[in-house]
Each structure stands twice: as structure tokens, then as C-alpha cells.
Structure 1
Amino acid sequence: MIDRIRRLLIQSVFTIPPMVALLGTFTLWGQEPPITDIAFSLDGRSLVGCSQKGLQVFSWPELRLQKTVEVSCTNLHCLVFSPDGNQLAVGGGNPSEEGIVEIFSWPECKSQMKLSGHDDSVLSIVWRGNTNLVSASLDRLLNQWDLETQKTVKTYQGHSRGVSSACILKNGAMVTAGHDQSVRVWDAESGDLIRSLNQHTKPVNSMAICPGSAGKPMIATAAGDRTIRFWQPTIGRIMRYIRLESEPLDIAWVSESQMVASCVDGQARVIDTVNVKVLQSIPVIKGWAYAVAVHPIDSTIAIAGSDGQLHRVRLQKSN
């Protein structure tokens, strides 16, 4: 089983296909830890990455390093902006000891609070409004936090192994996925488990909600079995799936009909989510491509991975 936070880094030589423009890079070969997650600010002017160096803030689209921010723990795995864009939550911890969520103001990047309540590293964070969030951990638990009191108000139990991803649907239900190969749907208010979906055959690495989908909400999950599966979680239905040539580590929707997956072989794969086929395979990272983010305004994506590599890529326009 491949564990996302305990991977051995590999490297591969790549070239950029003619239909794809590699627009900007930030790389320090052999000197940097891998960038494990990235997120755009709401205005699209900054890109933030996390690694064992802390937080790194880059200008967009130039990818100039603007500042490096120290975080209270060295092993960082996830970061996400609050809905209003004024705060940044960062998750990580010390394996088998402690999981931490630290909240920073944005754009000042001043630490506002540190939330400690897990017994293992935090792998995913999802906001519930601007004053509540849920943290998912390798300790198998999800904790909901009230940021005004800095206390845990609810704990969700049900996964048999670490929890790698969490998201909140428009109807308020929460969906989680983990290393137990399952996708679980919860009543976020009561904490009750509604259903468990078990079609994956390896640990789930990432999950993302389809933007603006009409009718029942749809999510996608990417796992170590090399598949990306598309679900309607509120009714427990798997709609379709695609198996890639390389394990997807992270996924992000570009539109309702297209998504990008960053993979172990360093490639970004653009996927037609309706016809479930790969439209483009883009070699980007020399090593593993840990994270992908889609710019909120323009038509580019950011890919991050091994050796602190960070790239800006423009996708081929759909016909």
C-alpha cells in the first residue's frame, strides 16, 4: 500500500508536448522537500504551497516566491482558504503522536491559533462557514472545531484506517474518504454515518466536489488502485470510473465535464469526466506530482511535487 505521506521520491525525465504551454516554474533541484499541497487565494493573485519548509507564498502568474512562513509543526499535508478568503487553515503533525491545525490570517500570514486534538497527522481540512472547520486525520477520526472557542464540538468515528479527504455537500452532508478504501457519507449535524461506499480496492488519496452540478451532487475520488470514480453520494450511486496508467495523488475539477489529476509518474492527466477518457497526458514534474490546483479566473493550472517543484501549465482548449 502506498501511503501518501510516507512515499519514497522518484524521478523521471520529461518533455512538454507541443499542445501544452509550460508557462512558469519554481524549482530548486535536490535542495527542497516536496510540496504536498497548494491552494490559490480567492482573488487568484497568490498561490500558497506547504512543505517541511512551512508555507511558501508565490505571486501568480509569475511564481515568484514572496515569503516563507514558519508553521508550528514541520510535517504539513494540507491547506485550504476559508470561504471569505480571510484565513488559511494548515494541517499536519507528528506521525503517530499529534495532529495539528494552525489558522493564519490572510494575506498577513500571522498565526491566529493552533488546534490540537488528534493523535496522528491531519491530512485534510474542510471549512463549514468561516467559524467552523472539520479536520481529517490518520488517527481515523474527524474533528469539528468551533474557532471562536477553539474547542472540538463533534467527533466523527467510522473509518477503520486513516482519513485522507473530506468535503461538505450543498445540502450540508459531509463526505469522507480514507486509507480503508471507503467513501463515507455523514449527517454533519448529528455525526451519524449514513452510508459507506466500498468500490475502491486501494487507499483513497483525494476527493473533489463537482462544481455547479445540476441535480444531485457529484464527487470524484482518486485512489491507489489507479482509478478515479465518480459518485452521487446522497443516493450511494457510483456513476462511472476511469483507470489511469499511473496512480493519481490529487484531483481538481476544471469544469463540470473536465478535471485534472496529478500522478505518481509526474504527469498531469486531463480527463473528460462525461466520456471518462484521458484527453491529455502532460509531463510536468520530475518525480511525483503531489498536488494540483485550478486557477479561479484564468485557464491555467498549478502542479506541485518532488524537490519543491512548482509549475504553471495552460491546458489545451476544448473544441
Structure 2
Amino acid sequence: SFDNTLKVWDMETGKELRTLRGHRRSVEAVAVTPEGLVISGSWDNTLKVWDMETGKELRTLRGHSREVKAVAVTPEGLVISRSGDKTLKLWDIETGKELHTLRGHSSFVRAVAVTPEGLVISRSRDNTLKVLDIQTAELLTTFTADYPIWCCAVSGDGRTVVAGDKSGRVSFLRLEGL
């Protein structure tokens, strides 16, 4: 939120359970791991790992030189962050260690998604959608659109990426054979 916090709510009652404080600037991104840890990304260039049940901040992940705009959790429980610094970073949240920095976009990375097989899908204002291997940081393929790609999502079976661009066109990209 713009007040630099995260709020935990009881979905049945609508009651606020706790407020997570620790970021120095607005919080723009959040993801939850299967174990119930909350990962937040902020305009203070950091990610924070929280225990949702207690509200305790467990660690701060530093490495981006600009704001963190999105986070996603991989099937292995690793975290991918994307930033205004045109990079994606892969993190081990148990240790706080940065495992890889993924580069390749010439403009801001706007969104990130992860397939069940561990491929990272990133989209950028440079009109590209890139598919990368999480473990090796290898670029597997690039899709270039005629217009900026605004959104992308991975199908439930992990085999298709759906991307929408500024013109209103929706593209379906098959990942088989990568």
C-alpha cells in the first residue's frame, strides 16, 4: 500500500488481523508461499519475507537498484522478483541469498509468471515476452509483439502462455519443446 504497509485480513469476517510494517516506501507487490510466508516488494528496492501468522519480518532481500514491481513463487519455493532496473532476480528465501540475476529486456520488466515446470515468463515495455529457465538463467525463447505487451498468464497445464498487447490482440504461445 501507499502507507508502506501490508494488511492481513480475515476473509470470513472482513476484520483486519494485523499490519506488517517495515518497508520505507510503498509496497507494490506481494506473493504467498505454500508454507504461508508472505513476500513483499517495495519502492524501497527491497523484498521482505514475513510470517503471516505472527506478522514478524523474517528477512530483507537486497539487490535491486530500483523499485520491486512484482514477485512470484516457483514450484520449488524460490522467489522471482522483477524491478524497474530491467532485471529479474531469483532468490532462496530460506537463506536470503540471490541465486541469479536474469537480464535481457531493454526496458522495464512489467510482469512475471512461473510455469509448473519452472520456466519464468517475463514481459516488458520493449514489446517482448521472454521465456527463461529458472535453474540455469538461460534464455530459451523471445516472442516479439507489434505493440507493448500489457499482461501475460500461464495456463493451468503450464503449456500455454496467454499474452495481451496494447492493441487489444491476445496471443497464445505454446511452450512445448522448450
TM-score for the superposition, normalised by structure 2: 0.90
> Residue in 1 aligned with 2:12?
148
Give the superposition deviation at 1:291. 2.0
Q: Using a 3 Å threshold, how does the CA distance of structure 1 residues 307 and 155 change in structure 2: closer, same or farther? A: farther
1:253 to 2:114 alignment: yes
Indicate which of 213, 217, 220 corresponds to 2:80: 220
Give the superposition deviation at 1:175. 1.1
> Residue in 1 aligned with 2:41?
177
Give the superposition deviation at 1:310. 2.8
The one-letter amino acid of 1:210's match is T
Q: Using a 3 Å threshold, how does the CA distance of structure 1 residues 255 and 223 change in structure 2: closer, same or farther? A: same
Give the superposition deviation at 1:292. 1.4
Deviations 1:296-315 (A, max 9, x none): 02621111242444322223
> Residue in 1 aligned with 2:129?
268
Output the CA distance in 2 between the equivalents of 1:218 and 1:303.
24
Q: Using a 3 Å threshold, how does the CA distance of structure 1 residues 295 and 219 change in structure 2: closer, same or farther? A: same
Indicate which of 140, 161, 167 corresponds to 1:279: 140
Q: Which runs of 5+ in 2 are unaligned?
A: none
Indicate which of 189, 192, 197 corresponds to 2:56: 192
The one-letter amino acid of 2:161's match is I
Residue 143 of structure 1 contacts residue 152 of structure 1 at CA under 8 Å; is this kept in 2?
yes
1:205 to 2:55 alignment: no
Deviations 1:233-266 (A, max 9, x none): 1221111111123321111112444211011112
The one-letter amino acid of 1:138's match is F
> Residue in 2 aligned with 1:126?
none
3-state SS of the aligned residue for 1:170? coil
Output the CA distance in 2 between the equivalents of 1:316 and 1:283.
18
Give the superposition deviation at 1:280. 1.0
Deviations 1:16-55 (A, max 9, x none): xxxxxxxxxxxxxxxxxxxxxxxxxxxxxxxxxxxxxxxx
Residue 250 of structure 1 contacts residue 263 of structure 1 at CA under 8 Å; is this kept in 2?
yes
Q: Using a 3 Å threshold, how does the CA distance of structure 1 residues 271 and 191 change in structure 2: closer, same or farther? A: same
> Residue in 1 aligned with 2:92?
232
Deviations 1:179-232 (A, max 9, x none): 111010112111111111110001112111111x2xxx2111111111111111
Bigger relative contact order (CA 8 A; separation at least 6): 1
> Residue in 2 aligned with 1:314?
174
Q: Using a 3 Å threshold, how does the CA distance of structure 1 residues 154 and 307 change in structure 2: closer, same or farther? A: farther
3-state SS of the aligned residue for 1:200? coil
Output the CA distance in 2 between the equivalents of 1:175 and 1:260.
19
The one-letter amino acid of 1:153's match is L
Q: Which runs of 5+ in 1 are unaligned?
A: 1-136
Equivalences for 1:51-130 in 2 at 5 Å? Answer: none
Output the CA distance in 1 between the equivalents of 2:36 and 2:158.
29
Aligned residues: 177
TM-score for the superposition, normalised by structure 1: 0.52
Residue 185 of structure 1 contacts residue 234 of structure 1 at CA under 8 Å; is this kept in 2?
no
Output the CA distance in 1 between the equivalents of 2:169 and 2:44.
30
Output the CA distance in 1 between the equivalents of 2:134 and 2:158.
20
Question: What root-mean-square deviation, in Å, do the aligned CA atoms of Structure 1 and Structure 2 show?
Answer: 1.7
Give the superposition deviation at 1:279. 1.4
Query: What fraction of aligned residue pairs are identical, expressed as a percent?
Result: 25
Output the CA distance in 2 between the equivalents of 1:143 and 1:285.
39
> Residue in 1 aligned with 2:104?
244
1:163 to 2:31 alignment: no
